[in-house]
Amino acid sequence: MNCVNKIIVMAAFQAALIASASATQYDYDGDGIADVAVRRSSTYYWYVLNTGDDNFNSDAQDGIQRTQFGKDTADIPVPADYDGDGITDFAVRRPSTFTWYVKNSSGDNINSEAQDGIQRVIFGKNASDIPVPADYDGDGIADFAVRRASTFTWYIKNSDGSNYNSDAQDGIQRIVFGKNSEDVPVPGLYDEDNIADVAVWRASNSTWYIKNSSGSNYNSENEDGIQRLTLGQDGDIPVPADYDNDGITDIAVRRPDTFTWYIRYSSDGEVREFVLGKDEADIPVPADYDGDGAADVAVRRSSNQYFYILNSSDSEIQRINFGKQADDIPTNAPITEVIAKLNAVNSAIASNSVPVADAGSDQTVDVGSTVQLNGANSTDTDGDSLSYNWSFSSRPDSSEAQLSSASIANPTFTADVIGSYVLSLTVNDGEDSSNADSVTITAEQAEPDNTPPIADAGPDQQVSVNEEATLSGAGSSDADGDALSFSWSLISQPANSSASLSRRASETPSITPDIAGTYEIRLTVSDGSDSSTDDITITAVNDNVDIKDIEFVNRSGDCGDYEGTYYASVTDVQEATNFTNSVTISASTDTCDFIVNEIPNHDFNEQGNFASVVAEQNGDYSVTRTPEFASTVTELSLTTTNAITLNGVVIDLLSAACYSVGNEPLGEEKIGCGNDQIDNPWRYDPMSSLNNFGTDEHNAHPQPDGTYHYHGDPLAMYDLDCETSGLASPVIGFAADGFPIYGPCFDDNGTVRKAEPSYVLKSGERQEVSGYTTPVGGQGNVASSEYDGQFTGDWMYSEGAGDLDECNGMEVDGQYGYYITETHPWILKCYKGTPNSSFDKRGRRALRNLLHRHEPNGKLHNH
């Protein structure tokens, strides 16, 4: 034995433990520090005192986790990181069913067949198997593992599903190691490869046997890959951990009668002694409780429910009163101590429970086949090992079927004739036998082999957007002549498309594409036994698309995604005149050309007060495909058309009428406020309900030359109930600078709501602005002397008051755009980019259209 350095609990302890980074065990809150924890088997609750975030998993918000998990008093706590998130998971192994239950701390469904965040794995088919979870395959996830003392065999289920060290190539390691039934399993990281090693401590000769997982001869005097180290004596409790923070588990024992810990540092081979825990019944719970990377000597005293922890970082002793019952089990203790405490608790309160037999589910099989029975789900609430007794209660008269074994959990027999076989199972826990449970096996004549059907979804198709495409699975066939069922599914579609299949279970469903692009559709046919699939593609193009009264749905900010030709048959209601809307959008590398006749895609002038008659035009506008922000914004002007919509109608937001400008009566101005007065604060807002610009129900009217144009929100182009439907609004057009214009709704972190402008009404009476006459309420058509929105100067920009910036736009999902709002500035206030020159108003037409009538009584005004 190496020289022993006696160190009592005092300042010298600090120098003995060298601080360096290493992994932390029993860290239930993910802060890299071990937490004190207990499990109360009588109520199945785990209690954890968080060292990190007080409220992590703490419903009471008091820094304590309270989780009820493991619904059997015989469940053995086996906490470890089974889901690889760096946090110790609550877990138990139920000996009666050999089942491991793990509550994933990550909250995900790793290895959870029930998709409820709980792993349920049957592993270790002996109730007396000792659970020894650790990372034996090096993937950073604890593996389910047991050691069977009767055969000296370690069984390890690789968590990564690989065949690492699996001779049977079934993902299970089977390692015979520790040739004494009294050997205590002490797995750990003993050989520098960061993979857990199987290891045992033999009290009879004080020897630790460690099988290096690396296969190397690290610390192996016999050069056989096995370490043989001597430490401890009979009666000691093995407490291996990394006490010197070198990344290697140190062999260590606690001697209860002297309260002394003997620790052999792997870093220098020297043995240190520490005295802690002045009660022979103290349960050792070594772990890194002070976050310095080295395990701390620690115990829990059941008699007063205190944890005593000797900090390796500063030699101070923590005293933590936690776990309010003497029977609480400290889950950070070595597994043998956990089991001993659990057995002591249960033996004090339990008498033998009669086991329950479970013969498995009834089965229907082909005659002549081998039947596998399953009694493995039989249970004993005491966790006792079960013996099995199977027998035939009845079988067909001519059958000679025999069980392969009557005393195992899963015997087999051959169903040699047609008919019913009834079998009975009883189980015994060594004291009591269960009631019998029966299972019925029905043997039938084997069905002839089925020929799978052949699915035929028909040919690929090309249709126009909004044109119904009818599909047909009539070409599908079945060689056996079986009746076929059909199931169609839409497996992909363009972004922002809301198209869906109708009559998906019929032979001839249909779909109406709403956005140009590719729609992939799959047909699955079944004959009742087998199925097959066939895929087709529907390509939708914007070719002569009827857009009458449609609500646009595409949210793409690239005008090139709208390339195509569109039309709509519409009516000027009051004039009883029919028109054909015409829109052609063509895209080049840099721009999109909109060739339009400026007739809308909806009926109009039902409620308007038009002074001019709507007429077709020859509009030609170029929209930049990849607009960029200019160094400064460009204000709206009367010489630039503001935007072009996807239905071919332009948007002009400004009026050219200002208070006290022109030769008309004060408060009744209609003309004269041109671009030279662009800064006039008392410009009439054409969208204000206090003004009358003779617009129809779509907020539009014609110029003198008949050009129909929107003054504000084109209501017919999008879903007005977007907040109710939960769908973000589409693009309805493009501003002169190329940025898209959206309807009012956007997705705000999962909630669809209307965008709010950052323009607010000024308060109080209108204040004088130098160089301009202030409007007075009651003067002509002026409604009030207060700031009420009748004039554009009644509003001011208040950064952060809403969602939108000074131009009434914002960026959503990486795309900047302007948004329609219910108040000023309605659509946009300025341009963030540079307007394309094609939107300039030029020549006599521009002048004539600025000076036009809104009322049939003939008053001329401009806007």
Pick from 69, 106, 74: nearest CA to 90: 69
Condensed to tens digits (0 to 9), the pLDDT of residues 763-785 reads 999 999 999 999 999 999 999 99
752 phi/psi in degrees, rounded to 5: -85, 125
Pick from 395, 372, 839, 369: nearest CA to 622: 839
Q: Are 343 and 415 in the same domain?
A: no
Residue 220 lies in a domain: yes
Measure the CA–CA gap between 805 and 807, rounded to whole angstroms.
5
Residue 669 lies in a domain: no
Q: Are 331 and 427 in the same domain?
A: no
What per-residue confidence (pLDDT) applies to 503? 94
Pick from 728, 789, 420, 323: nearest CA to 551: 728
- β-pair type (815-819, 740-742): parallel
State the residue for tokens 């304590």: 64
DSSP 347: H
Looking up residue 423, the CATH number of its domain turns out to be: 2.60.40.10
Residue 567 lies in a domain: no
Q: Are 16 and 132 in the same domain?
A: yes
What per-residue confidence (pLDDT) applies to 258? 94
Q: Are 130 and 240 in the same domain?
A: yes
Average pLDDT, the chain: 90
Decide: helix, strand or coil at residue 569: strand
- Burial of 546 by CB count in 10 Å (0-12 exposed, 13-18 middle, 19+ buried)? middle
State the residue for tokens 């895609």: 601
In order, the DSSP letters of 7-36 are --SSTHHHHHSPP-----SS-SSSSSS---
Residue 334 lies in a domain: yes
State the residue for tokens 């205190």: 306
Average pLDDT on 7-36 reads 56
Within 8 A by CB and 6+ apart from 298, the residues are 276, 284, 285, 286, 287, 289, 307, 308, 309, 310, 332
Radius of gyration of the chain from its Cα atoms, rounded to whole angstroms: 41
Residue 512 lies in a domain: yes
- Burial of 154 by CB count in 10 Å (0-12 exposed, 13-18 middle, 19+ buried)? buried
The domain boundary, picked from 349, 371, 394, lies at 349
Residue 96 half-sphere exposure toward CB, CA atoms < 13 A: 23
Beta strands in 355-449 (DSSP E): 363-366, 370-372, 387-394, 412-414, 419-428, 437-444
What per-residue confidence (pLDDT) applies to 351? 61
Measure the CA–CA gap between 178 and 210, rounded to whole angstroms.
9
Q: Are 492 and 398 in the same domain?
A: no
Strand partners, 591: 624
Residue 817 lies in a domain: no
What per-residue confidence (pLDDT) applies to 396? 96
Measure the CA–CA gap between 525 and 533, rounded to whole angstroms.
6
Residues 184/147, Cβ–Cβ less than 8 Å: no
Q: Are 271 and 337 in the same domain?
A: yes
Q: Which amino acid is at 554?
A: N
Condensed to tens digits (0 to 9), the pLDDT of residues 309-342 reads 999 889 899 999 998 888 899 999 998 888 887 7
Q: What percent of the chain has pLDDT over 70?
A: 94
Measure the CA–CA gap between 34 and 247, rounded to whole angstroms.
16
Within 8 A by CB and 6+ apart from 596, the residues are 582, 583, 584, 617, 619, 620, 621, 644, 648, 649
Band (pLDDT 50/70/90 cuts) for residue 349 is low
What per-residue confidence (pLDDT) applies to 94? 94
Whether the per-residue pLDDT at 670 is higher than 60: the answer is yes
Residue 71 lies in a domain: yes
Pick from 198, 233, 158: nearest CA to 1: 233
Q: Are 22 and 114 in the same domain?
A: yes
Band (pLDDT 50/70/90 cuts) for residue 350 is low
- Burial of 117 by CB count in 10 Å (0-12 exposed, 13-18 middle, 19+ buried)? middle
Q: Are 90 and 113 in the same domain?
A: yes
- β-pair type (45-49, 851-853): unpaired
Whether the per-residue pLDDT at 850 is higher than 70: the answer is no
Average pLDDT on 122-126 reads 91
The structural domain count of the chain equals: 3
Whether the per-residue pLDDT at 11 is higher than 80: the answer is no
Whether the per-residue pLDDT at 128 is higher than 70: the answer is yes
In order, the DSSP letters of 216-256 are S-TT-TTSSSEEEEE---TT-EE--B-SSSSSSPBPEEEET
Decide: helix, strand or coil at residue 799: coil
Handedness of CA 486, 487, 493, 499 (dihedral sign): positive
What per-residue confidence (pLDDT) applies to 449? 82
Measure the CA–CA gap between 438 and 123, rounded to whole angstroms.
25
Residues 219/188, Cβ–Cβ less than 8 Å: no
Q: Are 428 and 476 in the same domain?
A: no
Condensed to tens digits (0 to 9), the pLDDT of residues 234-285 reads 999 999 999 999 999 999 999 999 999 999 999 999 999 999 988 888 999 9
What per-residue confidence (pLDDT) applies to 842? 64
Residue 269 belongs to domain spanning: 4-349
Residue 10 lies in a domain: yes
The Cα-based distances of 484 to 79, 476, 668 in angstroms read 52, 8, 76
The domain boundary, picked from 541, 564, 591, lies at 541
pTM for the structure as a whole: 0.47
Band (pLDDT 50/70/90 cuts) for residue 565 is very high
Q: Are 343 and 397 in the same domain?
A: no
Average pLDDT on 9-17 reads 29
Looking up residue 30, the CATH number of its domain turns out to be: 2.130.10
Q: Are 432 and 511 in the same domain?
A: no
Q: Are 399 and 520 in the same domain?
A: no
What per-residue confidence (pLDDT) applies to 847? 42
Condensed to tens digits (0 to 9), the pLDDT of residues 614-658 reads 999 999 999 999 999 999 999 999 999 999 999 999 999 999 899
Residue count of the chain, please give it.
863
The domain boundary, picked from 541, 572, 588, lies at 541
Band (pLDDT 50/70/90 cuts) for residue 143 is very high
What per-residue confidence (pLDDT) applies to 324? 81
Band (pLDDT 50/70/90 cuts) for residue 831 is very high
What per-residue confidence (pLDDT) applies to 57? 85
